[in-house]
Amino acid sequence: MKALANSRYVGLGVLAVFFVVAWFVVGGLDASAVSIAVLALYYGAAGTSFNFLYGSIGVFSLAQPVFLAVGGYTGVYLYLTYGISPWLSIPISCAVAGLIALPIGLASLRRPGAVMTALVTLIIAEAAGPVVSAIKPLGGSIGLYLTLRSSDDLGAMQFGSGVAFARIFLIVNVILIAGLMWFNRSRAGYWARALRDSPEAADACGVPVFRVKLWIFVASAMIAAPVGLIYAQYNLLVNTDLFLGTTTLFEVIVVALVGGVARSWGTLVGALAIVEISQNVTSATSSRPGYGPLTFACIFLVIALLMPRGLSGTWAAWWERRRRSPDQAGGIAAVGAPQHAAERMATQTPVPDMTAHSQRSE
Based on CB atoms, which residue is closest to other proteins, 147 or 361? 361
Near other proteins in 57-116, by CB under 8 A = 60, 103, 106-108, 110-116
136 binding other proteins? (CB under 8 A): no
Task: Kindly identify the residues of this chain, within the stretch 154-213, that bind other proteins according to CB under 8 A.
Answer: none
Q: Which is nearer to other proteins, 236 or 294 (CB)?
A: 294
Compare residues 179 and 308 and give the one whose CB is closer to other proteins.
308
Distance CA 152, CA 295 (A): 35
Binding residue for other proteins (CB under 8 A) from 1, 31, 148, 305?
305
Which residues, including other chains, have CB under 8 Å from residue 306's CB and lie 6 or more apart? none
Among residues 35, 85, 133, 248, the one that binds other proteins under rule CB under 8 A = 133
State the Cα–Cα distance between residues 74 and 59, nearest whole angstrom: 25
CB of residue 130 vs other proteins: minimum separation in angstroms?
5
Segment lying near other proteins (by CB under 8 A), choices 195-203, 230-238, 242-250, 267-275:
242-250
Nearer to other proteins, 13 or 113 (CB): 113
Measured from the CB atom, is 34 or 128 closer to other proteins? 128
- Establish if 360 lies at the interface with other proteins (CB under 8 A): yes
CB of 72 to other proteins, least distance (A): 21
Q: Which of 298, 329, 354, 356 binds other proteins (CB under 8 A)?
A: 298
Residues lying near other proteins in the complex (CB under 8 A): 60, 103, 106-108, 110-116, 118-120, 122-124, 126-127, 130-131, 133-134, 246-247, 250, 253-254, 257, 288-291, 293-298, 300-301, 303-305, 308, 334, 336-338, 360, 362
